[in-house]
Structure 1
Amino acid sequence: MTVVSSESGVLHVPAGEGLVKWMSGDVLTFKATKAETNGSLAFMEALVPPGGGPVAHLHPHSDEAFYLIDGALEFLDGERTFIAEPGSFVYIPRNHRHRFKNLEKTDARLVFLFTPAGPEDLFLEGADDPIPGQRPENWTPERFARLTDIVERTGDIMLPEGR
């Protein structure tokens, strides 16, 4: 990740810069992690393809917030769902079951953050490095199963729908 900072401690990640990871079809660009913010927050940009998005889950130690730039996403809020469109802001308090899913035919683009930082370790450690000239593929259940140790360490809890 290209990071520009000053002696004052300011973090500046230029446009088009940041560590990129692929996770089950999603393209994640890290603008700030706990390493750069002393654990205060993590901030990412995401490109979510049609059908993409995480399984329902909760973060017991962090709040999460989203700002939708392009496309539309269906959010799960406990047991209800709603649609977020460009310009929508969504705040998820810790210990609240949620997920988002792209139900459209085009990619959705959003930014999101965790405060305090920590849940981003799942992406940093468990996601794939990009392959130039290709698009990420959706993962199989077996591929997701390789994340169990990281999920346990971050304390996140997966709560799939239909259970």
Structure 2
Amino acid sequence: MEKVSSPAAIIRAEGHGERRWFFGGGVHIWKARAAETAGAFLLFEDQMAGGKMTPLHTHPDSDETMYILEGEIIMHVDGADHRIGAGGLAVAPRGVPHAFMVVSESAKMLCLHTPGCCESFYWEASIPLSDGDPAGTGPVDMGKIQESARKNGGITLLGPPPFALPAP
């Protein structure tokens, strides 16, 4: 019998998927949840305002792939900074320290975790948005990020953002 990675086909149009305000900044649109892919992966679109930065962190049990759809980021991976614009790709292998900063006015990217074991972290570090809620609003709350990381795993926070460049 052939093994499949998903119990059923997943079809979501542009803009479809659960919208969540992520306490680290940005709106996630969940395209494929881990349960839908039998744990193989988690995929969400991340819509972010300029200046958004992540702390230096690792994902000990998943590779994180970011495909930039719009805008530009600086990706800090394993001690080196890389500018990545629309159409560009960054892969942070599991356990490799990384962070990113949005350097354009806004940015949109697809974020893929393989396997999808980080979902509980993102889920508890975000809240649902209704269709009427404007994108990109809500308070950044690093305390909630830290609490979700401690409770759910999937991420190890190593320190503050490592960027010497000021955000725009």
Within a 5 Å distance, the mapping from 1:93-132 to structure 2 comes to 93-104=93-104, 106-130=105-129, 132=132
Are the counterparts in 2 of residues 51 and 102 from structure 1 also a CA contact under 8 Å? yes
Q: Secondary structure at the match of 2:128?
A: coil
| Structure 2: gaps (5+ residues) | 1-6, 163-168
Q: Map of 1:13-162 to 2, 5 A cutoff?
A: 13-23=12-22, 24-104=24-104, 106-130=105-129, 132-134=132-134, 135-150=136-151, 153-161=152-160
Question: How far apart, in 1, do the equivalents of 2:77 and 2:33 lie?
Answer: 26
Post-superposition shift, 1:145?
A: 4.0
- Aligned identity (percent) is 22
User: Deviation of residue 75 (structure 1)?
Assistant: 0.5
Structure 1 position 63, deviation (Å): 0.7
In the other structure, the counterpart of 1:3 is none
Residues 160, 68 of structure 1: alpha-carbon distance in 2 compared, 3 angstrom cutoff: same
By how many angstroms is 1:78 displaced? Answer: 1.5
Distance 1:25 1:148, change over 3 A: closer
Question: Given that residues 74 and 102 in structure 2 are in contact (C-alpha distance below 8 angstroms), is that contact kept between their aligned partners in structure 1?
Answer: yes
How many angstroms apart in 2 are the aligned matches of 1:155 and 1:10?
A: 26
What one-letter code is carried by the residue in structure 1 that aligns with 2:140?
Answer: W
Deviations 1:113-159 (A, max 9, x none): 01111112212122122253444234244443432433xx3242111
Kindly indicate whether the alpha-carbon contact (under 8 Å) linking 1:21 and 1:123 is maintained by their aligned counterparts in 2.
Answer: no
| CA distance in 2: counterparts of 1:51 and 1:121, whole angstroms | 26
Deviation, 1:103, is: 2.1
**Partners in 1 of 2:114 and 2:149 — Cα distance?**
22
What CA distance in whole angstroms lies between the structure 2 residues aligned with 1:93 and 1:162?
18
TM-aligned CA distance change 1:93 to 1:35, over 3 Å:
same
Contact 1:130 1:136 in 2 (8 A): no
For the aligned residue pairs, the C-alpha RMSD in angstroms reads: 2.1
Which segment drifts farther, 42-51 or 118-127?
118-127
SS at match of 1:12: coil
- 3-state SS of paired residue (1:31): strand
Q: How far has the Cα of 1:162 moved from its partner?
A: 7.3
